[in-house]
Amino acid sequence: MSKEGKELKPVNVDSSKQLATYESYNQLKAIASDLYKSGLFTHLKNPQQAIAVVEFGRELGVPPMQSLQSMAVISGKMCMTAQLMLALAKSNGYSIKIKKNDASKCEIDFIDPVGDKHPVEFTIQEAESLGLSGKDNWKKQPENMLFWRTVSKAIRRFAPETLLGIYTIEEMTGGEAITIEEIEEENEKEPQAKLPDNANQFLTVAEIKDWEDWIETSERKLAYAKEEIEHREHLILSFGKMKPALLSRIRKVRKEPEKYDWEAFKKDRLLNAIWKELSEENQINELEKWIENNG
């Protein structure tokens, strides 16, 4: 076996093994979310990406753990390592024979399940025309990069049914990354969005947890959380220990200005010294009375 061949060992996918079937979306969600919480898959930005990866892997016949280790979401598109791509092709009866692989060119015979050979090549000139050759990975390991580009090109052309339109990580990042580890490194460099330092004063523990989960998936939700904190701060109340039942009624009045007079509500209830001294249950009852009488 050539030196190149020793370096390019694809992962194995055994499609003959029956995969677990998901009786419901909740079951799939639980599996993906639990695995995401393990901290092993930091290339994924949130549980929702983990769920998408596990589901897409299931459709391809790849078990959950292997999907999470070999697939990613980049620029809103699903992608996988080139090793997994080759493993999927092989599990469907395809094979390759390397004819040439050096720093200038890779040539292979892509062999289909009935034994027909399809010659495929990818050259450094093609890489240059695509703006790839100047990338760090292409400078350091051109033979390896040419090989995997040739493999993905062959599979996309002659075995598209094995991929469901998916691209490799290298293709999706324009050569900037080829492995899951490189995506993890890039994610670590990204500034992490977080709630303001005063969040504990104005949000309940449950809300903080919910909003922290939201922030990972949407800057818009972070903006909403900050807006809510600012709103509560203006009320001159301590919300940290308030129950959702109380907060929901306050929010109801605030969010329906066409129906309720917010300034009157604050004066009559929220800023009322007597109301503040009531138990939380009685506070809720008084809010409900006000809403019923003023709606």
Alpha carbon of residue 121 to chain centroid: 33
Q: Rounded distance, CA 64 to CA 69, Å? A: 9
Q: Is 280 found in the same domain as 140?
A: no
Q: Rounded distance, CA 273 to CA 6, Å? A: 78
Instruction: State the CB neighbour count (10 A cutoff) for residue 90.
Output: 18
Q: What are phi and psi of 124, to 5 degrees?
A: -65, -25
pLDDT for the residue numbered 44? 86
Q: Is 215 found in the same domain as 137?
A: no
Q: Say how many Å lie between the first and final Cα of the chain, rounded.
A: 80
Q: Is 274 found in the same domain as 147?
A: no
Last residue of a domain, one of 167, 187, 207: 187
pLDDT for the residue numbered 249? 83
Nearest to 89 by CA among 6, 154, 9, 178: 154
Range of the domain at 215: 199-294
* Helix ranges (DSSP H) in 130-271: 136-140, 142-158, 169-172, 180-189, 199-202, 205-215, 219-234, 244-254, 262-265
Number of domains in the chain: 2
Can you say whether the dihedral through the CA atoms of 32, 38, 39, 40 is positive or negative? Answer: negative
Do the beta carbons of residue 86 and residue 75 sit within 8 Å? no
The reply to whether 194 falls in a domain is no
Last residue of a domain, one of 136, 155, 187: 187
Q: Is 264 found in the same domain as 124?
A: no
pLDDT for the residue numbered 154? 95
Q: Rounded distance, CA 130 to CA 112, Å? A: 28
Taking only Cα atoms into account, the Rg of the chain, rounded to an integer number of angstroms, comes to 28
Q: Is 181 found in the same domain as 98?
A: yes
Span 124-138, pLDDT tens digits:
999 999 888 888 889
Question: Judging by beta carbons within 10 Å of its beta carbon (0-12, 13-18, 19+), is residue 98 exposed, middle or buried?
Answer: middle
pLDDT for the residue numbered 109? 97
Q: Rounded distance, CA 44 to CA 73, Å? A: 7
Considering the entire predicted model, what is its pTM? 0.57
Q: Is 217 found in the same domain as 81?
A: no
- DSSP-derived secondary structure for 71-86: EEEETTEEEE-HHHHH
Q: Rounded distance, CA 82 to CA 179, Å? A: 9
The reply to whether 88 falls in a domain is yes
pLDDT for the residue numbered 13? 54
Residue 20 is encoded by which pair of tokens?
A: 């677990």
Do the beta carbons of residue 103 and residue 139 sit within 8 Å? no
Unique residue bearing structure tokens 């999470």: 68
Which residues, given as ranges, of the chain have pLDDT below 50?
1-10, 15-20
Q: Is 77 found in the same domain as 117?
A: yes
Span 149-200, pLDDT tens digits:
999 999 989 998 888 778 888 888 887 777 777 776 766 655 555 666 777 6
Q: Is 145 found in the same domain as 259?
A: no
The reply to whether 193 falls in a domain is no
List residues bridging with 107 in a β-sheet.
100, 121
pLDDT for the residue numbered 172? 83
Interacting residues of 198 by C-beta distance below 8 A, sequence separation 6+: 229, 233
Helix pair 219-234, 205-215: axis angle to 10 deg: 150
Q: Rounded distance, CA 286 to CA 47, Å? A: 40
